[in-house]
Amino acid sequence: MVGIVSYGAYIPWYRLSREEFRRAWGGFAIPGERSVANYDEDSLTMAVEASIDCLADTDAGTVDGLIFATTTAPYTEKQGSAIMALALDLRRDVRTADMTNSLRAGATGMAWARDAIEAGSLSKVLVAASDCRLAGPSSMLEQMLGDGAAALLLGKDDLIATIEDSYSISDEFAGLWRASTDTFVRSWEERMVLDEGYSSVLPQAIAGLMKKCDLAPKDFAKLVLDLPTDVRRPGRVATQAGFEAAQLQDGASLFMSVGITGVASGMMGLVAALEEAEPGDRILFACYGNGADALVLRVTEGIAKLGPRRGMKNHLASKKMLTNYEKYLKWRKLVAEGAPLGRGRDLTSLSALHRDSRILLGFYGKKCLRCGTPQFFQGGVGYPPIRVCIACQAKDQFEDYRFAGRKGVVFSFTQDNLIPAMDPPAAVAVVDFDGGGRAFLDLTDRDPDKMEVGMKVEPTFRKLFFDQGIHNYFWKIRPIRC
C-alpha cells in the first residue's frame, strides 16, 4: 500500500493585519490577518522550509522523487525542484518535476506520486506545495491571499496514512487566472467564478471518488478542501456532498490567520487535519483548480510514532506582526525604488554560481580529515576554495560537511543602518555552529530589539538577490523559529 510517510508545513513569520489594507486604501477590511513572506522568501524557499520540516526524521538520501507544486515558480524556464533537490541534499538520481499552473497542483502531484510508487518505479516521493501569489494592490483579493507551504512524503513503508484511492476531473474553466505575462491574479465576477468552478466541480469530484471506492460520507472522519475566495463555500460543498458540518476541516480559522495560500492551501489543511487525526480515521482530501483531484486517506497506527515537527500548529503560533502595509508592498517589489547610488552589485556570475552550487544551495562546507575541524567559506576578501585546512594546513584532506540543519550561536553581530537593506537595519552575525565551524551570515526573521550575543540560531534557505534574471539563493540564519 502506498501512503503518507510524513508531513511538514511552513508559514512565514510575518503576518499583516487586514486592517492595514483598509488603513492604506480605505474601504473594507476583512477580519483577521494574512501571512506575508519575508522579502527574502518566495514559493521555492517556502517549499524548502516545509520540506525540511517534512524530512525531519527521514534520511534525505532515501527520497527518489520530488515534485514542486506551485503557481508562482521563480522561473518559467528553469526547474524549481532541481534547485530544491540541492537545498534538501537529495541524491543525484532523484526524479524532479515542477507541477504548475493549477491551484490543485499539490493534490495532482500526490496522485501522480502515488501512482509512480504503486507502479514500483519510485519508492519515496516528496510533494511540496507552495505559493506566493500576488493580487492587485487595494483589491479585496490582496487581503485574502496568504503565503505558505506544505509538504508530504509519500512512500510504501512506515506510513502514517495510506492513500486508498484517487479520482480526478479535468475542467477547462478558470475563474481565476494569470497569463504568463500577468503579475496579479485576475478574476471574473465572483459569484459566477465560484458557482461554475469550485462549487460545481468539487462536489462532482467528491461524489466520483466515493462512488469509485464505494464509500459514503459517514465513512470519513474528515473532509479537507482547499480554500476558495469565499470561505463559506467549503461548507456548502460539504453539505452538497452529503457531509456534516463537523466533518469539514476548519478552513475559516486558517483564512483568518494565514489567508488563501494558493496551491499550498489544500495541503496545509491536510497537514492540520493529520496533526489531529487518530488511527483509523478516513480523510477525504480534494482540491479544486481547472478540475479537481480527490484522494482517500486512511490514518494508520504509525501516526502516533511520527516525531515532533513544526507543522501547522507551531508555525501558526510563531509570528511577528508586520507593522505596515507599505513594507509588504516593498517586499513584493510593488513599489518603484530609486536607483541606488554607487556601484551596486557585480554582474551575477553564472559560472561562479555553478561552480559553487553545492556550497550555496546545499550549504556544504568541509571537515578536515586530519584534525577534524569543520569549516565553511563563503566570503571574506579573497575567495579560495577550501583546499588547505584553516586549522592544521593539511592540503586536500577533506570530507564534505553539511551545515544545513545544524543550529548555532551568535558570536557577534551588528544591525547596520548604513547599508541599503530591504528590512533595515540589516542584521548580520558571526555564527558558531554546534559541532564546529563558523560562518558570517545575514540574519533574517529577527526582532531588532531582541538581538544578543549568545542567541541560538538556525540556518534557513533564502533568496539573497535577483539579478540577470537569476534568483540568487543561499542560506541565512534566524533565531530558532519555534
Partner 1 sequence: MRESIKDKVAIIGMGCTRFGERWDVSAGDMIVEAASEAFEDAGVEPKDIQAAWGGTLWTGMTGMTVGHALKLQFIPITRVENACCSGTEAVRNAAYAVASGVYDLVLAVGYEKLKDLGSPGVPMQQGSGTPTQVFPQASAPGLFAMLATRYFARYGLSREEGKTMLAKISVKSHDNGSLNPKAHLRRKITVEQVLAAPIIAWPLGLFDCCGTSDGAAAAILTRADMAKSFKDDPVYIKALQIAVGFGAGDMSVDYDYTHIEETYRAGQAAYAEAGVTNPRRQISLAEVHDCFSITEAIVMEDLEFSPRGRVNEDIEAGTFLLTGELPVQPDGGLKCFGHPIGASGVRMLYECYLQLRGKAEERQIKDPKLGLTHNQGGQPPSAAVAVSIVGRDTG
Q: Is residue 225 within 8 Å of residue 234, measured between CB atoms?
A: yes
Q: How far is the CB of 94 from partner 1 (least distance, A)?
A: 24
Q: Which is nearer to partner 1, 28 or 383 (CB)?
A: 383
Q: Which is nearer to partner 1, 317 or 352 (CB)?
A: 352
Q: How far is the CB of 168 from partner 1 (least distance, A)?
A: 42
The residues, ordered by sequence, that sit 6+ positions from 156 with a Cβ below 8 Å of its Cβ are 1, 2, 3, 117, 123
Q: Find the helix or strand (DSSP H, E) in which 449 lies.
A: none
Q: Which is nearer to partner 1, 134 or 430 (CB)?
A: 430
Q: Which is nearer to partner 1, 140 or 394 (CB)?
A: 394
Q: Is residue 198 within 8 Å of residue 228, measured between CB atoms?
A: yes
**In DSSP terms, which residues pair with 370 in a beta bridge?**
none
Q: Which residues of 103-139 are buried (b: 16+ CB within 10 A; e: fewer)?
A: bbbbbbbbbbbbebbeeeebbbbbbbbbbbbbbebeb
Q: How far is the CB of 464 from partner 1 (least distance, A)?
A: 6
Question: In Å, what is the CA distance from 261 to each residue of 48, 264, 317, 394?
Answer: 16, 5, 17, 50
* Beta-strand relationship, 408-416 and 186-187: unpaired
Residues 303, 126, 281: CA angle, nearest 5 degrees: 25
Q: How far is the CB of 408 from partner 1 (least distance, A)?
A: 10
Q: Which is nearer to partner 1, 101 or 357 (CB)?
A: 357
Q: How far is the CB of 420 from partner 1 (least distance, A)?
A: 7
Q: Which is nearer to partner 1, 120 or 382 (CB)?
A: 382
DSSP string, 115-178: HHHHTTS-S-EEEEEEE-----TTSHHHHHB--EEEEEEEESSS-SEEEEEEEEEE----SEE-
Question: In Å, what is the CA distance from 301 to each residue of 5, 61, 159, 165, 280?
Answer: 12, 25, 8, 19, 8
- Per-residue DSSP letter, 365: E
Q: How far is the CB of 50 from partner 1 (least distance, A)?
A: 23
Q: How far is the CB of 424 from partner 1 (least distance, A)?
A: 10
**In DSSP terms, which residues pair with 197 in a beta bridge?**
none
Q: Is residue 156 within 8 Å of residue 123, measured between CB atoms?
A: yes
Residue numbers of the site for partner 1 (CB under 8 A)? 341-346, 348-349, 352-353, 356, 360, 373, 375-384, 390-391, 411-421, 425-426, 428-430, 432, 436-442, 453-454, 464-465, 472, 474
Q: What is the dihedral of CA 356, 358, 363, 366, to 10 degrees?
A: -80
Q: Which is nearer to partner 1, 83 or 125 (CB)?
A: 83
Q: How far is the CB of 430 from partner 1 (least distance, A)?
A: 6
d(CA 2, CA 112): 12
Q: How far is the CB of 348 from partner 1 (least distance, A)?
A: 7
From 168, 167, 166, 225, select the one nearest 198 (Cα to Cα). 225
Q: Is residue 292 within 8 Å of residue 286, measured between CB atoms?
A: yes
Task: Find the DSSP H helices in 277-408.
Answer: 311-317, 325-331, 350-355, 357-360
* Beta-strand relationship, 95-100 and 65-70: parallel
Q: How far is the CB of 344 from partner 1 (least distance, A)?
A: 6
Q: Is residue 89 within 8 Å of residue 362, measured between CB atoms?
A: yes
Q: How far is the CB of 390 from partner 1 (least distance, A)?
A: 5
Q: Which is nearer to partner 1, 303 or 359 (CB)?
A: 359
Phi, psi angle pair for 101, to nearest 5°: 75, 0
Residues 128, 133, 137: CA angle, nearest 5 degrees: 165
- Only one residue has cell 551568535, namely 410
Q: Which is nearer to partner 1, 141 or 361 (CB)?
A: 361
Q: How far is the CB of 369 from partner 1 (least distance, A)?
A: 17
Q: Which is nearer to partner 1, 184 or 377 (CB)?
A: 377
Q: Which is nearer to partner 1, 56 or 394 (CB)?
A: 394
Q: Which is nearer to partner 1, 220 or 398 (CB)?
A: 398
